[in-house]
Amino acid sequence: MAQIDGLPPLRDVIAKHGLNAKKSLGQNFLLDLNLTSRIAKSAGPLDDCTILEVGPGPGGLTRALLAAGARKVVAVEKDSRCLPALQEISDHYPGRLQVIEGDALALDPVALTGGGKVRIAANLPYNVGTQLLVNWITTDTWPPFWSSLTLMFQKEVGERIVAQPGSKSYGRLAVLAGWRCKSGILFDLNPKAFTPPPKVTSAVVHLTPNPAPLRCDLSALERITAAAFGQRRKMLRASLKSLTPDAEALIVSAGLLPTARAEEIDVAGFVHLAEAFKSVRAV
């Protein structure tokens, strides 16, 4: 990448600006620019949209996105130490990189990107990655403001996002993601590719919105999945008793077996359960 964009290697950038990764911010910097380039290319066409990147750090993925032809990148960085390094990238790509200092959890992504087509691509900080994903896939307006998500997580989290019924990773996150998106793990990343190396393998996950997900009340779905997977070894007739005294009737009305367990129920089954629960609450 240094030969492509003419900017210094990331190790030199980190040394120049004293950017030792902070554990409190969930930082693990990806230094292999071949890998950041691979992630950028996995995000899809970049020249017809705005790219939202969260946690760019010293700018490895930012550089890859811009070098791959991104029309505009909006990078949100909480760590002020990284701003000078990102400014150098902005100077190298005039008018194509906007850096915003702030907490992505507290900012409105639609306002940040200004409307139009948006793709989100990020090596998400480990400590906020799951919450950001949930925020992006549970927006009130659907289809959402984004057309794709290309995100790096701990591999365990990635497996929870794409898990199917019957697997040990299948849970609330998989139901939420499966309800509104199509998702898959693109590839894994060895800890040695990062500074400092995390103790776990990472994975890049790609999600695209389902344009017409089954109609479902989000709050009902969240309560149903919380109760069901909170006691995943129990049959539904037992795990859902905390929500309604007649859990068995609720389950039957959703077309499911009261003796089934949470890990056996597919996304459509949970949607039907949530809608049945919503009806019960409305009575």
Q: Output the six-digit token pair for 137.
A: 């896939």
Determine if residue 28 is labeled as part of a ligand binding site. yes
Q: Which of 143, 96, 89 is nearest to 117 (CA)?
A: 143
Helices then strands, each counted (H, E), the chain: 13, 9
Residue pair 61/30 in contact (Cβ under 8 Å)? The answer is yes
Q: CA end-to-end span of the chain, whole Å?
A: 61
Q: Which amino acid is at 264?
A: E
Three-class HEC string of 33-52: HHHHHHHHHHCCCCCCCEEE
Whole-number Å distance between alpha carbons of 153 and 233? 27
Determine if residue 77 is labeled as part of a ligand binding site. yes
Determine if residue 55 is labeled as part of a ligand binding site. yes
Whole-number Å distance between alpha carbons of 159 and 205? 9
**Rg of the chain in Å (alpha carbons):** 21
Strand, coil or helix: 88: helix
Q: Which of 209, 202, 192, 208 is nearest to 159 (CA)?
A: 202
Q: What are phi and psi of 281, to 5 degrees?
A: -65, -30
> Residue ranges for the binding site for S-adenosyl-L-methionine?
28, 30, 55, 77, 103, 123
> Residue ranges for the binding site?
28, 30, 55, 77, 103, 123
